[in-house]
Amino acid sequence: MSDAFLSSDEFDEQAHQLYNQGRYDEALDTLREGVTLYPNAVELRIGMGYAYLAREEFAWSRRAFEQALELDPDHEDALAGMGEVLLPLGDRIGALRRFERLLQLGFQEDHELMLQAGRALFRSGLLAPAHRFFDLAQTAEPRCVEALACLGYVTHRMGRDGGALYWLRRALAVDPNYNEARVYLGNLLYDRGESAAALIHFERTRPQDHFDELGLWRTIELKRTLYRLADDDPDLTPWLSRLGELAPEPNPTEDLLAEIEAQQPDGTTRDPNQLELFGALMADVPALQRKHGRGEAHQVATLHGRMLRGTWDEILLQLKVAESGTDPVSLSEFMAGLARRGREETGVIIPLTDAEAFIRGSAEAGVLRIVQ
C-alpha cells in the first residue's frame, strides 16, 4: 500500500518503531512525510521533537514542540518534551514552568511523565526539583523500581547518604536483579569506606552488568585486597576481560585534561577517595537531628513500603512484626539480627541501646526511612 494512504496514526506508529530501534534519521523522514500530508497532526510534531532531541539538535527539537503546542497548548507529551529540550538550551525557568503545568493539569499520577521530568532535571543538576518529580513518580507507582532507584541517586547527590541507602535497597527489595541500582549502591558504599559491604553488592552482579569502568576497577581492587588474590587469579579473569571491553585506547589529550580536572585551585591533586560516583565532588552535608519527646508520634517506612506509626517503642514492635512475622524471636534477638544484617550490607553500626537510637541507626543504614 502506498504511503499516501497511510493515516497520521500509522505514520506515527512507523516512526515510533524506528525511533525505538535508534534509527532517528529514518524516523524523521517518516514524520516529515506524515506532516506534509497531515500538517495539523499533533502527534507527528511531537515525534519530530523527540527525534531531534535524540540527535541533540535542540533548536529544531524546540521548534517542533512549539508547533505541537500551538496546535494543542496542554498536550502532556509536548509539554514534557518542551521542558526537556529547554534545559540544555539554558532556559531553566521555562523548563520548570512546563513541568509545573503538567502538575496543574493533573498528570502527577502518570509516573512515566514524572520520571521523564525528573531525569531531565537531574541531568541538568536541578536536584531539588528532580527529587520532587521522582517522589511523585514513586507515589504514583510505589513499586516502580526505576523511580525508587532514581530517588536513591538524587538523594545521594544531595548529600543524604542514609536516604540514598534506603531508596537503593528498597529498589533492590522490589527487584533484586536491578543491577544498575546495585552497582550504584556498591560504589556509594565504597566511597563511604565500607569496603566489605561494597564487595558484597559488587559480587551480586556479573561483569556484563557493568557499563562503566568504575565499578569493575573497584571490584577487582576489593577482591585482590580482601581475598588476597594474585593478579592472575582465575576469579579476576572475567572482571578484567569486561574491563578490557570497556576501557578505551589511551588518549594523551584526554589524559592531560583529566589530570588538569583532578587539580584543586591551589594546585594540589584531589584525593580520589573523596570523589563522588563518576567523578563529581561529593557534598559533605552533616545530618542535623532533632531530639523528640518520648511520647511524640513518628512515622517510618520499611523497605517494602509499609508505613509504621507511633512512638519509637511502638514502631520498634511494629517493625519486629513486619520483618519477623510470627517467628518466636525476642525483641533483643530481632534487633541484633537486623543490626548484623545492616552492618554486613552497609557497614553502618546500628546501636541497640534503645528504640529511638535503633530506629535512627537503621535509617542511617538504609534499612528504613523516617518520614516524620
Cell of 354: 534503645
150 and 242 fall within a common domain: yes
Residue 170 domain flag: yes
Parent domain of 209 = 142-246
Cell of 81: 518534551
State residue 273's pLDDT score. 40
Residue 151 domain flag: yes
State residue 348's pLDDT score. 84
Q: What CATH code is carried by the domain that includes residue 178?
A: 1.25.40.10
Burial tier of 70 (Cβ tally within 10 Å: 0-12, 13-18, 19+): exposed
163-189: per-residue pLDDT in tens? 999 999 999 999 999 999 999 999 999
- Last-in-domain residue among 230, 246, 262: 246
- Is the distance from CB of 66 to CB of 53 less than 8 angstroms? no
Residue 350 domain flag: yes
| Bridge partners (DSSP) listed for residue 307 | 301
Residue 168 domain flag: yes
Residue 283 domain flag: no
Report how many domains make up the chain: 2
Residue among 129, 123, 125 nearest 98 (CA): 129
Low-confidence ranges of the chain (pLDDT < 70): 1-4, 248-295, 325-327
- Is the distance from CB of 158 to CB of 131 less than 8 angstroms? yes
SS3 content of the chain, % helix, strand, coil (to 5): 65, 5, 30
Residue among 303, 308, 311, 306 nearest 355 (CA): 311
**Kindly report the CA angle at 273 between 129 and 343, in degrees rounded to 5?**
80
153 and 226 fall within a common domain: yes
How far apart are the C-alpha atoms of 67 and 311, rounded to whole Å?
A: 56
- Is the distance from CB of 94 to CB of 127 less than 8 angstroms? no
State residue 280's pLDDT score. 32
State residue 181's pLDDT score. 95
Give the pTM.
0.78
Side-by-side strand order, sheet with 298-302: 307-310, 298-302, 368-370
Long-range contact pairs involving 126-129 (C-beta distance under 8 Å, separation at least 24): 126/87, 126/92, 126/96, 127/154, 127/157, 127/158, 128/158, 129/96, 129/99
Residue 198 domain flag: yes
How far apart are the C-alpha atoms of 166 and 101, rounded to whole Å?
A: 31
Residue among 47, 48, 101 nearest 74 (CA): 101
**The residue type at 258:** A
147 and 242 fall within a common domain: yes
Q: Which residues contact 95 (CB under 8 A, 6 or more apart)?
A: 82, 83, 84, 86, 87, 120, 121, 124
Residue 255 domain flag: no
Handedness of CA 74, 75, 78, 80 (dihedral sign): positive
Give the DSSP letter string of 176-189: TT-HHHHHHHHHHH
